[in-house]
Structure 1
Amino acid sequence: MSHQSETLHKPHGQVRSQGLRNQSTHTQLMEVMLRLQQTMEDYITQRKTQHLQPDPGLGEQRHSQAASEQEATLIRLMCQVVNLFQPCPPLGSSGHVGGGQQAQSSRQPDQLGHHLSDLQATAVGYDLSNRGSDISALYHSSVQDYKTYQGDKYHEDKNPLGFINLGVSENKLCIDLMTERLSRSDMHCIEDSLLQYADWRGHPFLREEVARFLTYYCKAPAQLDPENVVVLNGCCSVFLALAMVLCDPGEAFLIPTPVYGGFAFTSHLYAKVELIHVHLDSEVTDANTRPFQLTVSKLEQTMLEARLKGKRVRGLMLINPQNPLGDVYPEDELKEYLEFAKRYNLHVIIDEIYMLSVFDDSITFHSVLSMESLLDPQRIHVIWGTSKDFGISGFRFGALYTQNKEVAAAVSSFGYVHSISGIAQHKLCRLLQDREWIDKVYLPTNRSRLQAAHKYITNNLKALKIPFLNRGSGLYIWINLKKYLDPCTFEQELLLHRRFLENKLILTRGKSYMCTEPGWFRLIFSDKIFCLKLGMRRFFQTLGEQKQDWTEKQLEDALREQSAS
């Protein structure tokens, strides 16, 4: 490629820039250490004089408040010291909640990150409950890079040096089509009913249209029942509601990994439901005919291990097409998973949010709703939304389809706090109703643009001989960067991730998806071509810097060995 050679070498000015940054960091560190020393001296003095107050009761109260404030200041200063030892500014690993990791040092990344998380949790502990402190720490550890990205987004004219985000799964390829469609006159409706509280399950007109839509696009053998539809503000809201109504705290779902991290975040935030990982690996064997293949034997083994540990497993969570792998489950394998679930009386939650984002013509997507007969229909619950297939994640729409009336009723209760605005429901209904526009304009265009963007990225990866899973579905590619890790550890994976961030490029590293093998990353390709080109230029530059550092290190090691001999 034309830009490959010039981006695989580190600019001469970068060494000087690094020196200036180190000098600035040293100055900041000295300032923080002096403030830390002074605060500690004040704190010790305050504690020593506590018993000299004339009014013990009043003195204790004042001293307690002052001590709390000083302790909080101490913790904040300690956090600053830890941050200044980081290899780059404190950013997480993903804009998807649940995908982020704490900023960590180059020597002991994970260990230092946990210490920082503990300090931050303690710092807010004076005002929050234990649960609140836990949630606050979870928030800070999950969204740091996304917050930074939101404040420093790339813009072709206004901010050409901003972050390119190839880490958050959003479809930006057909914003022009969607903007035009949502601007038509039929979308503009203001009625009394849309400005007032709606049915907690969602407006009847929207639930009816969702049932018709899923009947058609999922190829259901019979018309789906609108009474089995519940509409909430996003698919994660639907999942958390299902976790709450199907499990008691401490109970568990099986979930194959690597997997989208938002479910782990959500289950911890609300339901306190454990996700027991069914670990998949990349090795191809007689049993694994493809990398990261989910088999019933792996489900059986994980189920056995969970029972031996005294865990109560209530369900199986699947994503089809899978995120981040891109696998589309063949119909026969999907049936095997459902048979396994029935043997153990498990609920099955299937997220089909990418069902219309299969762009390889040789792949056929089979919705679970297309099956003529389900073994245990009362325990199968399907999630779908418009965020990915239609690229309108800002609408915050997710739908549940379940034949279990009790489950539907229980999930509907969450509409009290997780409903969608009436205006948005009207627009969504009109959009889903326009079958002719969807079939003749939107879906063909979206499919062709996904194919073109996917081809551009995969050609770039092939040029660098980077292995990846070529699955033909979803908005992402699961890429293998193990050869750029030395040694191949999660610590080195984190450092490579942070090097991407230094070059203003956001990817998501495999550990955020609970992958057991270091070196895998998820790369989003559903963006405009000029963003993809700049993103890949920064991608090549990062890997070039990584290689150059290796070369310098090997040269230094050779010189040391030579001088020692």
Structure 2
Amino acid sequence: MSHQSDTIHLPCGQMRGQGLGSQGIHTRPLEMMLHLRQTIEKHIMQLVTRHQQQDLVLGDQRHHQATGEQEALLDNLVSQLISLLRSGATGGLGLQPSYPALDVRGDVGGGQEAQSSGQPDQPVHQLKDPEVTFVSQHLSNRGIEISASYQANLQDYRIYQADKYHEDTNPLGFINLGISENKLCLDLMTERLSQSDMNITEDVLLQYSDWSGQPFLWEEVARFLTYYCKVPAQLDPENVVVLNGCSSIFSTLAMVLCDPGEALLTPTPFYGGFVFSSQLYSKVELILVHLDSESTDANPHPFKLTVDKLEQALLEATLRSSGWALLPLRGAGSGDLGQCSQQGVVRGLVLINPQNPLGDVYCRDSLKEYLEFAKRYNLHVIMDEIYMLSVFDESITFHSILSMESLPDPNRTHVIWGTSKDFGISGFRFGVLYTHNKEVASAVSSFGYLHGVSGIIQYKLCRLLQDREWIDGVYLPTYRSRLQRAHRYITRKLKALGIPFLNHGSGLYVWINLKVYLDPCTFEEELLLCPRFLDNKLILSRGKTYMCKEPGWFCTVFADRPSAMYWFYQVLEEQKWGLRVKQPESAQKE
């Protein structure tokens, strides 16, 4: 990954976007056309039936209403198809970037206003983004909502999985700089997991286990967290729950702590997968605490979370839950009260430490302030510490909340961790909950019935976590050294390009500012930049997917392929050229 110069040169004779249009990524228009044909056929049949049944019970008014509804649906479908084809033509390849479909509260396609009042057997689900509509003849409204959310949020990921980069077998495949996946130490992990002590199959591992995991794994996880989180006293294995991934842990926690429609506070930008996870089962709202990128005397650090911001967000959410909110009215000051829609009671606070996507690490004093704020209002705290071993700046110290001598409210404090990021084994699907509240542990563990981890994987994980000598002597020194080197490489290239970024010392990603490449700097222009990356087989996550309130921010992962910076540079050069062409045209129109 070391280079003699910061200047980026493109390899000759190789275009990553070549041949992409022939790979058949037009399934949405085809599906829509098929449904359109079915709807037209049904419409014609209904017209024929109406003439045949004029003497039946239904009156002319009922016939007119049914026909009008069918015509409205046809018009809706045709408009969508035209819009889709136009956007595919302007994008160059027919690839649609992922749409977060989220309003300012983090709703994923929720709300009855998103439902069509058309045919009862053909509900149309319209997400917050007007371009994304999901139609089904067979799903329930709940099924439509889930499927539409999945299609809207994970479309790029599905494209990536279908044409994934491989150095030998698919060198022109997609490189995903938008998913936080650690590929820096696959060689070490492959070697360790292939050793003989890992390859054991016993009867007990092939049978059902306790839904919250095998007891031997609870005990090892408790010892592991006690050691690496620097906990003052040994953690209790009975308070450990393991499920198939941290998203499963978060989703089930949201369900057992909140009733449908209730809410959790979370500062933005933040990991957007929480939105999908919170809505999938439990329909829990996320109240967004928007942080500012600009530094001020009162707030010298960009995107700094303060208790004042938490207090303000909680106050506004509380007012909204009772039918009022601090909203500026026309001709009124920002402190005047205005009526708005209902919103659920706030039950908790969600924090990520180290922070995703900012890479910031909370100091001990800040953690204490956040926990004391939560205690004042009887809020649960869900602390995601999945990157706790991925702090590579030696001047930064990670503080787990489990290391605190005394928690302000231990029964409402819950910690999530997993091996996907720190150990780069996301395919193992393993997440951990540690909570002092045995009622919460018991409730979450019941979801092991659906989200349990296989016995074979649990055994391998136990052996991995207990191999302290290998972790401390081989893995962590190598991993952190490679993180430092990869981070140094990508930040050097960003500086050479003149791209501002947050320079923090943890995680697998860099939060970058591409506002200068947007004209005007809007979320619409941010969205239009995504197909340019897709044309060059790169996937980046735009700020809107992290609920950032300011357009122009992107997250790029550096724990994958450093060579992707060549194509990143090419996209920005194309965008810069397009802006030069656009500006004279705009001037002529004026």
Which interval holds the TM-score relative to the shorter structure?
0.7 to 0.9
- Judge conservation of contact 1:173–1:450 (CA < 8 Å) in 2: yes
Question: What is the alpha-carbon distance in structure 2 between the residues aligned to residue 38 and residue 170 of structure 1?
Answer: 41
Where do residues 229-240 of structure 1 align in structure 2 (5 Å cutoff)?
A: 229-240=240-251
Check whether the contact 1:468–1:478 (CA below 8 A) recurs between aligned residues. Answer: yes
Cα offset, 1:373, TM superposition = 1.1
Q: What SS does the corresponding residue of 2:130 show, helix, strand or coil?
A: helix
Comparing 496-505 with 216-225, which one deviates more in the overlay?
Answer: 496-505
**In the TM superposition, what are the counterparts of 1:425-504 in structure 2 within 5 Å?**
425-504=458-537
Deviation for aligned residue 1:82: 2.9
Structure 1 residues 340 and 233: alpha-carbon distance in aligned structure 2, compared to 1, 3 A threshold:
same
Distance 1:257 1:200 in 2: 34
Quick one: structure 1 residues 36 and 340, their matched pair in 2 at CA, closer, same or farther if it must change by over 3 Å? closer
The alignment's C-alpha RMSD in Å is: 3.7
Letter in 2 for 1:552: V
Shift of residue 286, structure 1, vs aligned partner: 1.9
Structure 1 distance, partners of 2:394, 2:379, is 34
Matched with 1:81 is 82
- Which of the numbers 202, 221, 228 marks the counterpart of 1:191? 202
Contact 2:419 2:430 (8 Å CA) reproduced: yes
Q: Identify the residue that residue 132 of structure 1 maps to in structure 2.
A: 143
Q: Which of 505, 519, 529 matches 2:552? A: 519
- Pick the aligned partner of 2:166 from 151, 155, 167: 155
Distance in 2 of aligned mates of 1:361 and 1:225: 30
The aligned residue for residue 538 of structure 1 is: 567
Of the candidates 368, 382, 385, which is equivalent to residue 415 of structure 2?
Answer: 382
**Are the structure 2 counterparts of residues 4 and 68 from structure 1 closer, same or farther at C-alpha, using a change threshold of 3 Å?**
farther
Matches within 5 A, 1:42-57: 45-51=44-50
| Pick aligned residue for 2:365 from 332, 353, 357 | 332
Deviations 1:372-408 (A, max 9, x none): 1111111110000000000000000001111111111
1:90 maps to what in 2? 95
Residue identity matched to 1:544: E
SS in 1 for 2:212: coil
Residues 456-497 of structure 1: per-residue CA shift (max 9 Å, x gap): 000000001111011110000000111111111111111112
CA deviations 1:90-138 (Å, max 9, x no partner) are 333499x999999xxxxxxxx99833433x2xx21x2011101111111
Secondary structure, in 3 states, of the residue corresponding to 1:114?
A: coil
- In the alignment, the residues of structure 2 paired with residue 243 and residue 436 of structure 1 have an alpha-carbon distance, to the nearest angstrom, of 36
Deviation at 1:169, TM superposition (A): 0.4
Q: Distance in 2 between matches of 1:169 and 1:251?
A: 29
Shift of 1:560: 6.6
The aligned residue for residue 105 of structure 1 is none
User: What residue in structure 1 maps to residue 385 of structure 2?
Assistant: 352
**Higher mean C-alpha displacement, 415-424 vs 549-558:** 549-558
Task: Find out whether 1:363 has 2:396 as its counterpart.
Answer: yes
Cα distance in 1 for partners of 2:567, 2:317 equals: 43
52 and 193 in structure 1: CA distance in 2 versus 1, 3 angstrom threshold: same
For residues 374 and 36 of structure 1, the distance between their equivalents in structure 2, rounded to whole angstroms, comes to: 56
Is the CA contact 1:3–1:537 (under 8 Å) kept in the aligned structure 2? no
Change (3 A) 1:420 1:112: closer
Cα distance, 1:248–1:459 mapped onto 2, change above 3 Å? same
Structure in which a larger fraction of residues adopt helix: 1
Conservation of the 8 A alpha-carbon contact between 1:387 and 1:395: yes
Tell whether the 8 Å contact from 1:252 to 1:314 is kept in structure 2 after alignment: yes
Residue 164 of structure 1 deviates from its aligned partner by 1.1
Aligned-partner residue type, residue 532 of structure 1: P
- Is there any run of 5+ residues in structure 1 with no aligned partner, and where? 58-66, 103-110
The amino acid across from 1:84 in the alignment is: L
- Distance in 2 separating the partners of 1:100 and 1:520: 21
CA offsets 1:176-215 (integer angstroms, 9 cap, x no match): 0000000000001111110000001100000000000000
Task: Go from structure 1 to structure 2 and tell me whether the alpha carbon gap of 1:55 and 1:206 turns closer, same or farther (over 3 Å shift).
Answer: farther
Deviations 1:488-536 (A, max 9, x none): 1111111112211122111100000000000000000012xxx311x11
| TM-aligned CA deviation for residue 37 of structure 1 | 9.6
Seen in structure 2, the aligned counterparts of structure 1 residues 8 and 187 have a Cα distance that, compared at 3 Å, is closer
Q: 1: CA distance between counterparts of 2:143 and 2:387? A: 34
Q: Contact between 2:517 and 2:576, CA under 8 Å: does it hold in 1?
A: yes
Matched residue of 1:314: which SS?
strand
Structure 1: which amino acid aligns with 2:350?
M
> Aligned to 2:227, which of 197, 216, 221?
216
Give matches, 1:205-354, under 5 Å.
205-310=216-321, 311-354=344-387
Identify the range of structure 1 (450-459 vs 241-250) with the bigger mean alpha-carbon deviation. 241-250
> Judging changes above 3 Å, is the alpha-carbon distance between structure 1 residues 338 and 553 closer, same or farther for their aligned structure 2 residues?
same
Measured against aligned partners, the alpha-carbon deviations of 1:127-155 in whole angstroms (never above 9, x if no partner) come to 01110111111111111111111111122
Corresponding position of 2:154: 143
CA contact (8 A) 2:8 2:566 kept: no
| Residues 100 and 80 of structure 1, relative CA distance in 2, 3 Å threshold | farther
2:327 alignment partner in structure 1: none
Q: 1:81 Cα shift?
A: 3.2
SS state at 1:532 partner: coil
- Between the aligned partners of 2:414 and 2:52, the Cα distance in structure 1 is 65
Which consecutive residues of structure 2, in runs of 5 or more, have no partner in the other structure? 57-67, 110-125, 322-343
Deviation at residue 554 of structure 1 after TM alignment:
2.9
Contact 1:359 1:473 in 2 (8 A): yes
**Alpha-carbon offset, residue 54 of structure 1:** 8.9
CA deviation string 1:303-341 (max 9, x = no partner): 111111124111111000000001100000100001101
Q: Do the aligned residues in 2 keep the contact of 1:39 with 1:70 (CA within 8 Å)?
A: no
Question: 149-158 or 410-419, which moves further after superposition?
Answer: 149-158
SS at match of 1:354: coil
Distance (Å, rounded) in 2 between the aligned partners of 1:333 and 1:93:
34
- State the distance in 1 between where 2:36 and 2:99 align: 35
2:453 aligned partner = 420
